[in-house]
Amino acid sequence: MEGIQSVSSVDSDYPFRRDHRARVSAVAAVVHPGHPGRAEFNVLDLSGNGLFLADCESSLCNGSKVRVGLPSRRTGESVWGWADILWRGNKDGKPGVGAQLAFDSPAQANSWKEAVDEWVEDESMATLASVRRITRRKWRPRSRQS
């Protein structure tokens, strides 16, 4: 399928993909300028200056510029930035788009990075908790039933 790239093939072309990225289970709000309403997309990969949005319906086009809002886990309010859709690809078998972010002010960029850190920290803690839960189980031999 033309126009679809795997994530590994584009990492070298788009350095924002390598910057402090993490898998998260966030849902981002996306607003197309000039269009009413907003859509929600699952975030599959997130960093301080880029993200990968799951887009099964191909509603986001390469070259388009949209507003993206990431909810802060601490305040509950969304932090907004401008996203340039740069490429379409697959991540973990799901089609989507890679976007590079730009912000209206340094304060807005810092707010985004704080929101990213909150998501990354929460995901890391959840992963750590599940690993601890698994490793705490003691092995017990099965009793033989005759």
**Complete DSSP assignment for 45-101:** EE-SSEEEEE-TT--S-TT-EEEEEEE-TTT-PEEEEEEEEEEEEEETTEEEEEEEE
Per residue in 18-30, pLDDT tens?
444 455 567 777 8
Instruction: Give the separation between CA 125 and CA 133, rounded to whole angstroms.
Output: 12
For 65-102, the pLDDT digits (tens) are 888 988 887 788 888 999 999 888 888 788 888 889 99
Confidence (pTM): 0.63
Each domain of the chain, given as residue ranges in start order, spans 4-129
In eight-state DSSP terms, residue 21 is -
Alpha carbons 99 and 109: distance in angstroms, whole number: 15
Which pairing describes strands 4-6 and 78-91: parallel, antiparallel, or unpaired? parallel
CA dist 101 and 14 (Å) reads 12
| pLDDT confidence band for 46 (50 / 70 / 90) | confident
Q: Is the domain covering 4-129 a CATH 3.30.1490.270 domain?
A: no
